[in-house]
Amino acid sequence: MAASDTERAQQQIDEIEALSSIYGDEWCVVDEDEKIYCIKISDSLDQPKWTLCLQVILPPGYPTAEPPIYQLNAPWLRGQDYTELANSLEEIYVQNLGESILYLWVEKIREVLIEKAQSADPEPDIKKTTEEVEDDGDDFLLDYQPIQEDQIRMLNYMTSESQEDEELPPIHHGNPITDRRSTFQAHLAPVVTTRQVKRVLEKLYENKKIASATHNIYAYRIYCEDKQTFLQDCEDDGETAAGGRLLHLMQILNVHNVLVVVSRWYGGILLGPDRFKHINNCARNVLVE
């Protein structure tokens, strides 16, 4: 007999509770209502070289009738690496139809990371990582450099070489959220081209306070009518996987033609997974407004 909605919901609750107890701080609830979760996976607990964030959305039919919707986020994960890992996860789903599979997925990813760490692959070159990876709070007293030049340079390849200026869209600023001396604030602008994205970022970074934020995380989604596809991208700015989560939130809310930037000023006290909750809440509030 097919599982009822109530039974599936209970299976999801049981699985989430188990994963939360197994993985502790590595497990993060992004949005309880929307059933969005994220887990940080690494090759080693002591001195991780290779890390990856697996983000999942559990649809109402999971586990008996629908697979989880997932996203793999890592700066080094591209091309064939991504395809091979995605194929492995889908194979696990097919081999275990109707079963709870998140634990199997996490351990498969960890196995791949351990293989990478033991192979001749050079370590990933990640110049700026989330400040909360470290245990020693004193490390965060380092002077953070304003990040606008790198981010704008990254956008240059996507924008037309034409120098004509497009109109600067209006920028809306959300209400700040403060928790244990860290402050989060979202900024939103309607955009229809990557040049407008670039212009909005340049305008925001003219503000010294925003430019000096520890992280300026952003994501945008532009709908291309002619191709009926989305042009979308995101930037973590050192807060590992935060950009991907922000983009995922925008995908779930089916947002079109919008750029959202979330600035975070670090206050010296580690927030753990709560920081992702604040980033998403800021973004959601400004989108609703």
Q: Which residues contact 229 (CB under 8 A, 6 or more apart)?
A: 223
Q: What is the pLDDT of residue 126?
A: 47
For the chain, domains (ranges, CATH) are 5-119 (3.10.110.10), 172-288 (3.30.230.30)
Place of tokens 């403060």: 178
DSSP state of 130: -
Q: What is the pLDDT of residue 167?
A: 82
Helix (H, G, I), strand (E, B) or coil at 249: helix
- In sign, the C-alpha dihedral spanning 218, 224, 227, 229 is positive
- Of the two residues 31 and 105, the one the predictor is more confident about is 105
Q: What is the pLDDT of residue 165?
A: 53
Q: What is the pLDDT of residue 146?
A: 35
Q: What is the pLDDT of residue 259?
A: 96
Distance between CA atoms of residues 203 and 198, nearest Å? 9
**CA diameter of the chain:** 64
Count CA within 13 A, CB hemisphere, residue 218. Answer: 27
**Is the confidence at residue 81, as pLDDT, over 90?**
no
- Rounded to the nearest integer, the mean pLDDT of the chain is 80
Helix (H, G, I), strand (E, B) or coil at 223: strand
Q: What is the pLDDT of residue 125?
A: 52
**Region 252-266 average pLDDT:** 90
Q: What is the pLDDT of residue 2?
A: 55
Distance between CA atoms of residues 269 and 137, nearest Å? 8
Q: What is the pLDDT of residue 220?
A: 94
Give how far Cα 84 sits from Cα of 5, 105, 109, 191, Å.
33, 13, 11, 34
**Region 147-152 average pLDDT:** 41
